[in-house]
């Protein structure tokens, strides 16, 4: 393998960079304004209620946090599994993971209604709560990935590269397991309450993170007129196809398990047949757009060497992934909780048996988009300041 030379992200016209950064800054400002509006007026101005307490901002937050873990997968393949084709991409993989997690946590914190209460969550812990675990998992992820990036960029600490790479790999698995366990441990909600939620979120993170990585990598190299070899793109494309197929497998197992459990027949009928918008999102958004279309674009011989097909497949994965998180988070809350399991309630004032309605509002969407913009802005600034991109990613003369 030839020696890699890294340099900052640069294009012939710096004005394009500053205009793009200004656009992202505008979205961030709108998102912060939306957070202030919701905090100042109260969450009654949103579509959320005492029945659906996690709204669209939580969908954005979980989507970005899960993708952050998966974005580090490319670096892990290079350091932990010794993949020479992926090792030069480790720096950018780490930077993208940090940016995506920061964007997700921004949305999560600002959607609390009282962001100042975060101080309580950081100083008083209930270790029976998965949320308390996540405080350590998220902060630990930042520290470990920053150290990981340092070992890649500084030769004086190169000897720590592999040990910290192993630590980062297992930590990100734990982080995504913790996120999935939030739902898996919620026994009151029939849509959740499954141990398979944790590993399903892990494989979802691999898919979303790699899709983010491919799109941003292609954009950066196109923007800076750098070259990416066909072999490297083929490796990334095929890996994405494996992850997309694995996500579909876990979704199949999850739903077949629920169909086997008589108690969960109601939620399965709701999501698969009678859920209205949630059923449409599941079949059209999650399965077709997020699964069938990417697999067709990745494995069809007609698009074997098509770069736009790889980019389109990655975008489709992200769109389908967003719908998947929406169905899990919002659809799972919309289905009524059984207040008296095994009993028929003829009259109730506690929404028993009533499907909860939820319509996202503009402030919620603005906050979520602001989180995505923050993630991309951090990655753009980091790539401009630090040498994270190889000057060229042309294919090596011979495979190692």
Per-residue model confidence as pLDDT tens digits over 32-50: 999 999 988 888 899 888 8
Average pLDDT, the chain: 87
> How many CB atoms are closer than 10 A to CB 265?
13
Residue 223 scores a pLDDT above 70:
yes
78-96 core/surface letters (b: 16 or more CB in 10 A; e: else): bbbeebebbbbbbbbbbbb
| pLDDT tens per residue, range 3-27 | 677 777 776 677 888 888 999 999 9
CA 143, 101, 38, 118 dihedral sign is: negative
| pLDDT tens per residue, range 61-109 | 999 999 999 999 999 888 877 778 888 899 999 999 999 999 999 999 8
Among 65, 39, 393, residue whose Cα is nearest residue 220 = 393
Among 66, 367, 28, 11, residue whose Cα is nearest residue 224 = 11
Q: Which residues pair with 390 in a beta bridge?
A: 6
- Average of per-residue pLDDT across 261-279: 89
| pLDDT tens per residue, range 117-140 | 777 767 777 777 777 788 889 999
Question: What are the residues whose beta carbons fall under 8 Å from the beta carbon of 299, sequence distance 6 or more?
Answer: 241
Please, which pLDDT band fits residue 287 given cuts at 50, 70 and 90? very high
Q: What's the rounded Cα separation, in Å, for the pair 337 and 333? A: 8
Among 42, 58, 69, residue whose Cα is nearest residue 108 = 58
Q: What's the rounded Cα separation, in Å, for the pair 246 and 91? A: 26
Q: Which residues pair with 228 in a beta bridge?
A: 393
Q: What's the rounded Cα separation, in Å, for the pair 247 and 325? A: 12
| pLDDT tens per residue, range 140-199 | 999 999 999 999 998 899 899 999 999 999 999 999 998 888 888 877 677 787 888 999
Q: How far is CA 295 from the centre of its chain?
A: 19
Q: Residues 109, 131: contact at Cβ < 8 Å? A: no
Among 56, 105, 120, 91, residue whose Cα is nearest residue 333 = 56
Can you list the domains of the chain with their CATH numbers?
A: 6-335+380-390 (1.20.1630.10)
Q: How far is CA 77 from the centre of its chain?
A: 19
Using DSSP's 3-state secondary structure scheme, residue 29 falls into helix
Q: Residues 64, 103: contact at Cβ < 8 Å? A: yes
- Average of per-residue pLDDT across 297-319: 93
Using DSSP's 3-state secondary structure scheme, residue 168 falls into helix
Put residue 399 in one of left, alpha, beta given phi > 0 → left and psi -120 to 50 → alpha: beta
Please, which pLDDT band fits residue 208 given cuts at 50, 70 and 90? very high
Q: What is the pLDDT of residue 111?
A: 85
Backbone φ and ψ of 159, nearest 5°: -65, -20
Q: What's the rounded Cα separation, in Å, for the pair 287 and 271? A: 13
CA 220, 225, 231, 232 dihedral sign is: negative
Ranges of beta strands (E only) in 209-336 are none
Using DSSP's 3-state secondary structure scheme, residue 228 falls into strand
Rounded to 5°, the CA angle 311-316-321 comes to 130
Please, which pLDDT band fits residue 396 given cuts at 50, 70 and 90? low
Identify the DSSP state of 51.
S
Q: What's the rounded Cα separation, in Å, for the pair 381 and 28? A: 14
Q: Residues 70, 207: contact at Cβ < 8 Å? A: yes
């Amino acid at each position: 393998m030839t020696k890699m030379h890294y340099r900052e992200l640069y294009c012939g016209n710096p004005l394009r960079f500053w205009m793009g950064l200004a656009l992202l800054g505008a979205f961030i400002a709108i998102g912060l304004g939306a957070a202030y509006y919701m905090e100042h007026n109260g969450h009654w101005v949103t579509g959320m209620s005492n029945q659906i307490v996690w709204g669209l901002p939580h969908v954005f937050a979980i989507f970005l946090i899960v993708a952050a873990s998966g974005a580090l997968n490319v670096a892990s393949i290079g350091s932990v599994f010794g993949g020479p084709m992926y090792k030069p991409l480790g720096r950018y993989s780490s930077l993208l993971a940090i940016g995506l997690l920061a964007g997700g946590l921004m949305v999560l914190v600002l959607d609390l209604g009282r962001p100042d209460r975060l101080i309580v969550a950081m100083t008083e812990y209930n270790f029976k709560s998965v949320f308390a675990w996540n405080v350590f998992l998220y902060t630990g992820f930042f520290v470990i990935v920053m150290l990981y990036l340092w070992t890649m960029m500084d030769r004086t600490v190169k000897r720590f590269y592999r040990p910290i790479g192993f630590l980062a790999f297992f930590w990100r698995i734990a982080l995504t397991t913790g996120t999935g366990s939030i739902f898996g441990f919620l026994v009151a909600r029939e849509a959740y309450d499954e141990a398979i939620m944790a590993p399903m979120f892990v494989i979802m993170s691999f898919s979303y993170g790699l899709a983010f990585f491919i799109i941003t990598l292609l954009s950066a190299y196109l923007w800076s007129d750098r070259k990416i070899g066909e072999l490297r793109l083929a490796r990334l494309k095929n890996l994405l196809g494996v992850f997309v197929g694995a996500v579909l497998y876990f979704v199949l197992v999850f739903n077949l398990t629920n169909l086997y459990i008589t108690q969960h027949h109601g939620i399965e009928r709701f999501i698969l047949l009678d859920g209205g918008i949630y059923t449409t999102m599941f079949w059209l958004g999650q399965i077709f757009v997020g699964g069938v279309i990417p697999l067709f674009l990745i494995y069809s011989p007609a698009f074997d060497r098509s770069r736009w097909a790889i980019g389109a497949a990655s975008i489709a994965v992200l769109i389908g992934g967003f719908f998947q998180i929406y169905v899990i988070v919002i659809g799972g809350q919309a289905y009524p909780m059984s207040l008296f399991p095994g009993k028929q309630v003829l009259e109730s004032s506690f929404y028993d048996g009533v499907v909860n309605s939820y319509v996202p509002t503009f402030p919620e969407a603005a906050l979520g988009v602001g989180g995505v913009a923050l993630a991309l802005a951090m990655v753009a600034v980091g790539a401009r300041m630090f040498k994270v991109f190889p000057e060229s990613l042309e294919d090596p003369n011979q495979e190692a």
